[in-house]
Amino acid sequence: MNAAVEAVGALQAAAEGDNSGRRAIGEVVLEVKNISLRFGGVKALTDISFDVREHEVRAIIGPNGAGKSSMLNCINGVYTPQEGSITFRGQTFGHMNRRQVAEMGVARTFQNLALFKGMSVLDNIMTGRNLRMKTNLFQQALRNPWGWGAAEREEVQHREFVERIIDFLEIQPYRKTPVGRLPYGLQKRVDLGRALALEPQVLLLDEPMAGMNVEEKQDMSRFILDVNAEYGTTIVLIEHDMGVVMDISDRVVVLDYGKKIGDGTPDEVRRNPEVISAYLGTSH
């Protein structure tokens, strides 16, 4: 290889990778259009529109009751908005059921953990794998008593996949521990592992750092950025800690009383007077 070609290659490598190893932000993968959601007289969301680009970390912020969790619930099919549409990779829907959304590659963690407290870390993360399992051991045995081999092989592959997630999240020492016995920060990490087991293209995280101390928040921030860099996963993140939001997100949507009051880069949002008075000025 001649020197000029080598130099161009080095320049390209430098241009492609910034110091955090993040992937370049791409096309719009998820578009939320004019979503309104009411519960009786409560307007949880009013005419909300925003988009999410591939490989982006997109934050949703706003005071308590602003409609952030409701927004994620509309995206992953838990709530049906009265108005508006959601487009995912060119497919538009007013409502999808949760399984369809998961099959399309959208996974989610919950504000209040939805783990099985009595089950081990390994088994909890395996539950996230269910959707990817083609063969059910029992069905396979009924159909063909000599067919255990294939199902067992599949089970082994899924377990290996889950072990890789456990390594990635650095929770090997707890793989057999019942989740209920772990400190809260680690439970949140297991919940992230359960969502990752789905191999999502888009990961919706509802306050993944709530209730954590500074060190746990730093760990979780790093894992979120690592997931984004390593697997190219697009992240939609609800978070209260403004320091974290400013640090790890590419763009931020701001909700207040169910309305969108800001949308832009962390710097743009930080300088938006409406956002400052509604959100940054408060103790959240």
Instruction: Report the residue number, 63 or 178, with the smaller CB distance to ligand ADP.
Output: 63
Told to check if 42 binds ligand ADP by CB under 6 A, we report yes
Distance, in Å, from the CA atom of 184 to the CA atom of 116, rounded to the nearest integer, reads 14
Q: Minimal CB distance to Mg ion: which residue? A: 69
Instruction: Report the residue number, 2 or 64, with the smaller CB distance to ligand ADP.
Output: 64
Nearest approach in angstroms of CB 238 to Mg ion is 6
Choices 38-46, 135-143, 147-155, 188-196; region in contact with ligand ADP by CB under 6 A: 38-46
Instruction: Report the residue number, 65 or 185, with the smaller CB distance to ligand ADP.
Output: 65
Q: Is the distance from CB of 33 to CB of 84 less than 8 angstroms?
A: yes
Nearest approach in angstroms of CB 212 to ligand ADP is 17
Q: Which does 189 bind (CB under 5 to 8 A by kind): ligand ADP, Mg ion, none?
A: none
Instruction: Report the residue number, 44 or 59, with the smaller CB distance to ligand ADP.
Output: 44
- Per-residue contact flags (x/-) with ligand ADP for residues 57 to 96, judged by CB under 6 A: -----x-xxxxxxx--------------------------
Nearest approach in angstroms of CB 64 to ligand ADP is 5
Instruction: Report the residue number, 71 or 227, with the smaller CB distance to ligand ADP.
Output: 71
Q: Which does 217 bind (CB under 5 to 8 A by kind): ligand ADP, Mg ion, none?
A: none
The residues binding Mg ion (CB under 5 A) are 68-69, 111
Q: Which does 62 bind (CB under 5 to 8 A by kind): ligand ADP, Mg ion, none?
A: ligand ADP
**Cα 129 from chain centroid?**
16
Residue 180, number of CB atoms within 10 A of its CB: 12
Instruction: Report the residue number, 73 or 201, with the smaller CB distance to Mg ion.
Output: 73
Choices 7-15, 36-44, 126-134, 153-161; region in contact with ligand ADP by CB under 6 A: 36-44
Residues that bind ligand ADP (CB under 6 A): 39, 42, 44, 62, 64-70
